[in-house]
Amino acid sequence: MKDIVDTQLIDQQGIGFITQCFSKIGCVVNEHLRETGIDAVLEIRDSSYRSSGAFVALQLKSGESFFKNETDEYYNLYIDHGHIDYWLRSLIPVIFIIYSPNLNEAFWVKIEKSTISQKQKTYKISIPKNNKLTTTTKKEIYSVVFGKLYDSDDSFQEVEEGLISIVSIQNPVIINGMELFLNGLIENCTQLYFHTDICNELSDIKAYRLGEKGYAFPKMNFFDKYFKHINYHNLLIDDFSFEARFMQETNMLPQFIKPLSLNGLRFINFLISRNYTIRDRILVSMLGSHFDAFTMN
């Protein structure tokens, strides 16, 4: 009975510790008492202490046994496939937290494909040692829900310059990532469409302007850089793990329609302020028999 009681006390210490940490940054921890792989739901409050409508699921592990496997930078835990599958299918983001009574500190990581690695019978979760709950800000918790968030022109200028610098030079046609991005906007410019027809149309238009009849299709590394850039800057909801695997395994380009993230929508507003031509692909196509593409040269 003593071991059971001690475990319960350690669990209570953990809940109390994370509740206090989150309350200091304006978040409320609501315990989830029915054991389904989620211990609590975190509610993010806005600056007026009203609910922001943003929620995060919490899974907490308390005790020194969860700190046995560590490297210089990470605490590593091994979790069964069932729990990982449950968390990845969750409709709200999941944060995995470990609490050390000895250190009186908790460390956390968001459960997503990039933070776990599959082993033969388990998945490994690597929790960065610098992800201390005591130093975590509300903005970081917001980023768990919305992804990496930018709110300054400097940040969006970096995104802009990066897209322009991603270039395919297949003489005589030159295409860059900004053209690929802007020509894929649909649904009142709230989603991004990708298909090889965008590149074909751009190449046709540019070759025609140059008086050339043919062109070479961009190489695969051009698209790889493009996908990685918009993924790194969190311009779209969802990641590109499927697309990356598809390209690697088949050497073919995927096609998709993905909604713009909050970053993506803010980036569109930034580009409008920079006098870019922002047009909805579907609406433009309805005006004539061909797509009037946006081009930069």
Contact call for residues 108 and 131 (beta carbons, < 8 A): yes
- The whole-number pLDDT of residue 48 equals 64
pLDDT bucket at 283, cuts 50 / 70 / 90: low
Domain boundaries, the chain: 2-146, 153-286
Q: pLDDT for 184-201, tens place per residue?
A: 999 989 999 998 888 888
Q: Is the pTM of this model over 0.75?
A: no
- The whole-number pLDDT of residue 282 equals 67
Report the b/e string of 234-256 with b at 16+ CB within 10 A. bbbbebbeebeebbeeeeebbeb
User: What CATH number should be reported for the domain whose range is 2-146?
Assistant: 3.40.1350.10
Q: In this model, does residue 5 exceed pLDDT 80?
A: no
pLDDT bucket at 291, cuts 50 / 70 / 90: low
**CA–CA separation, 41 and 29 (whole Å):** 6
Q: In this model, does residue 240 exceed pLDDT 50?
A: yes
Q: In this model, does residue 63 exceed pLDDT 70?
A: yes
Q: pLDDT for 77-101, tens place per residue?
A: 999 988 988 998 888 899 999 999 9
pLDDT bucket at 289, cuts 50 / 70 / 90: very low
Mean pLDDT of 125-133: 95
| Higher-scoring residue by pLDDT: 278, 242 | 278
Q: pLDDT for 12-24, tens place per residue?
A: 999 999 999 999 9
Contact call for residues 257 and 277 (beta carbons, < 8 A): no
- % of residues, the chain, pLDDT over 90: 49
| Beta carbons within 10 angstroms of residue 40's beta carbon | 22
pLDDT bucket at 35, cuts 50 / 70 / 90: low
Contact call for residues 144 and 93 (beta carbons, < 8 A): yes
Output phi, psi for 123, to 5 deg.
Answer: -115, 145
- The whole-number pLDDT of residue 192 equals 95
Mean pLDDT of all residues belonging to the chain: 87
Mean pLDDT of 128-140: 94
Output phi, psi for 277, to 5 deg.
Answer: -85, 110
